Amino acid sequence: MRKTHVFLLMMAFLAVGFTACHTPKRDAHRVQRTLLSQQSAAEQHADSLLRFLKDGHSLNEWCVRSDNDDNILYYVYEGEQLIYWSDNWLSADDIRRTDTMSGWWYERTNNAHVVARWQKADEYAVLTVIPIKYQYQFENRQLHNSFIPPFEADEQYQLSELTVSGFYPVYANDSTFLFSITGSQPYEQQEAVAGPLADSFSYRQLVDPNADRPAWYKRPRMRVRLYWVLLVALFGVLLVLAVIGLIRHRGFRNMPLRTRVVYVIMAMLCVAFAYVFFISTRYVRSHYQQRQERELLQKTLYIQSHLHDLYFSSAGARLVDGSTLSSDLLKLSYTYETDIHLYDRQGELLGTSAPELFQKGLASTLMASAPFFTGDSVGIYHEQIGDMRYLAGYIPLLDADAEIAGYVAVPLFVSELAVHREINAFLLQLLPPCIVLLLLSIVVSYMLARGLTRPISRLSEKMSHFRLGEEDNHIDYAYRDELGELVARYNEMVDQVEQASHQLARSEREGAWRTMARQIAHEINNLLTPIKLNIQQLQRLRGTDRFDAYFDRTTTSLVAAIDNLSRIATSFSSFAKMPEVEISRTDVAARLSGVVTLMRTNTEHVPIRYVGPDAGVEAQTDPEQIGQVFTNIIKNAIQAIGEKTEADIIVILNAAYSDREIEVSISDNGPGIPKADQPKIFVPNFTTKTTGTGLGLAISKNIVEGSGGRIRFDTNSRGTTFYVYLPKT
């Protein structure tokens, strides 16, 4: 988490630093770097064009073969006559022409800030123009004074020919000063042309056509925006949850399987939805554009036919003058509800139904170069005014002799707005079910992941609570899928483990009994040998004077030997019986305090201290056998101390050890248990005392574990402490 916070903080600082670096000086340097690259490419292209013309090739062939940069424009003159232009959006009628000017210079045209350069070879001259910034200042977003795409910067920046302080200069590749970029100023301070330019566009105003519409007209667009906001918010929530999960679990691989399944399903759905939206909107746009192109081409053919009938219905007829032609085109535009431009054989404007479009310098008076120079004069082409792109249909106008008298151009300015309406209508049908489907997918994916991982969770839970001998170790799963096979293998493993454990327990018991039998036989033989010798000695001394004295001494040792045999038999009987632990609520404090009191009475030479309550501490255990456990441990402590003068035994009952267990500790200050003997302390018949049987601690361990508790010990050279833990009621 700390590393993630540091990373986010660093990214924030970088973002702030990057924003702070966005200055006119920085943008001026970037514009100059781009401009130098554009100039180099333009010079090479212009040189190739001049060589092409000097070799006698035609401009039509050049237009077909060349791959012009849309942001570098070329004008070719043969003498004083313009014979080629690469594009028609730049209104470059007033660009200076001088044969003495060398290199690049800065110029303001009717609709752009540009840098230009003349190159001449024989009778040909090429004017190369690189537009930098639009010069439109109309009150609409599409005709703001913005930079050309290669030189994208703040549209509020101004270009100037000054080099004073506060202006950041831009130079050509020969170090010639071109222009300066100055800081931004509010758009309101710029000189703007008032009005929506309705007269310049008969059927498409360059302002929002819905601005003054009633609220009900805007509802579809508002609903689409609302759906988009809901969908983006939903994606954002899913993304935030995914990031939080990755940070919390420190990686995808560490997440729970259920969470990973949900994340994978949702990621796939999100990608699928994004793909569907992209393909659908692209299809709608493409389909509608194709339909527009067909309709525009059909309308262009109708207008061509109408103009042919109007001007060339008889042989020898010709086009009328400009004012009359524009009036006729305006009337015709009302009929077909579209703007109409008519160009002559040289590609220059003859008449138009929207004269202010050209008078205000928004467009060039030259027609598009592609239909004019390539010979493919019938077709639909993309054109632009500022950042606004539109369609234009071109078709030649033939006279009565089937010769080209001019070219008809029909622009379609409504294409982008119309396609947006089509897309909005499509999204109104697509977005609501997608949002509902996405919400349902979240719920279904969670339920599916839960259903898939539930058997695994049950399997994990069963394995964590697995106890040999219990009947509910198996998992019930009715389906025969992959998880069903896993559950079946687990159940088979449980059966095999239980069977193996039974065999192991039986083998261990048999081995223990054999070892115990050998130990008992050895102990009995050790005791029977002196008994036999004493009896035989009595038989030999019978009837002699020494019999009575020896009889008294022998009977005492025989009684002690018989007592040892009895003790061995009793211990073996207790271990052999191994009575089942009968668990019930037992007052452990009362049992423990009673055992301590009894042991104090019988062993006055060893002090036994007790710390804890005398009653009221209950646990789940066998009330009879738990006392035997405490007695065995205290006896072992007394025997471990031996004849030590400063003997001390402490018994502590800790009822607040944990929420589930109580703790009983019995400590002595004896010599401790040797390290080699520690692993065998609870092994039956293991003992370090000459008179012990080695069964006491083994019996105690069985009793404690049978109660659901546990027993352990700590030992060192200063003493030993046994800990008994019993479950609370």
Question: For the chain, what are the domain ranges?
Answer: 27-195, 236-422, 482-573, 579-727
Quickly count: other Cβ atoms within 10 Å of residue 586's Cβ: 22
| pLDDT given at position 343 | 92
Residue 240 backbone zone (phi > 0: left; psi -120 to 50: alpha; other: beta): alpha
Residue type, 3: K
Query: CA nearest 136: which of 181, 91, 178?
Result: 91
470-508 core/surface letters (b: 16 or more CB in 10 A; e: else):
eeebebebeeeeebeeebeebbeebeeeeeeeeeeeeee
Residue type, 65: R
Burial classification of residue 293, based on how many CB atoms lie within 10 Å of its CB (0-12 exposed, 13-18 middle, 19 or more buried): middle
Distance set, CA 240 to CA 181, 273, 379, 477 (Å): 42, 18, 50, 36
Taken in order 577, 583, 585, 586, is the CA torsion positive or negative? positive
Burial classification of residue 178, based on how many CB atoms lie within 10 Å of its CB (0-12 exposed, 13-18 middle, 19 or more buried): buried
pLDDT tens figures, 267-284? 787 788 778 878 877 888
Distance CA 386, CA 113 (A): 12
pLDDT at position 538 over 90: no
| pLDDT given at position 723 | 95
Architecture of domain 579-727: 2-Layer Sandwich (3.30)
- The neighbouring-strand residues paired with 512 are none
| pLDDT given at position 1 | 44
Segment 652-669 shows an average pLDDT of 91
CB-based contacts of 396, cutoff 8 Å, min separation 6: 304, 377, 378, 404, 406, 407, 408
**Would you call 669 helix, strand, or coil by DSSP?**
coil
Q: 325 with 351: CB under 8 angstroms?
A: yes
Q: What is the mean pLDDT of the chain?
A: 78
Q: Looking at the whole model, is its pTM more than 0.85?
A: no
Provide the H-helix boundaries in 312-414: 322-336, 356-359, 369-373
Q: 363 with 357: CB under 8 angstroms?
A: yes
Segment 93-100 shows an average pLDDT of 67
CB-based contacts of 547, cutoff 8 Å, min separation 6: 538, 541
Residue 290 backbone zone (phi > 0: left; psi -120 to 50: alpha; other: beta): alpha
| pLDDT given at position 667 | 93
Burial classification of residue 464, based on how many CB atoms lie within 10 Å of its CB (0-12 exposed, 13-18 middle, 19 or more buried): exposed
Q: 448 with 245: CB under 8 angstroms?
A: no
Distance set, CA 465 to CA 258, 460, 661 (Å): 22, 9, 18
CB-based contacts of 185, cutoff 8 Å, min separation 6: 156, 158
Residue type, 23: T
Comparing 236-422 with 579-727, is the CATH topology the same?
A: no
Q: 353 with 333: CB under 8 angstroms?
A: yes
Segment 338-344 shows an average pLDDT of 90
Highest averaged pLDDT of the listed ranges 373-387, 442-456, 538-552, 556-570: 373-387
Q: Which of 112-121, 132-141, 388-397 has the lowest mean pLDDT?
A: 132-141
Query: CA nearest 408: which of 299, 296, 292, 304?
Result: 304
Residue type, 119: Q
CATH fold of 236-422, please? Answer: Beta-Lactamase (3.30.450)
pLDDT at position 192 over 70: no
Distance CA 335, CA 303 (A): 10
pLDDT at position 184 over 60: yes
| pLDDT given at position 18 | 46
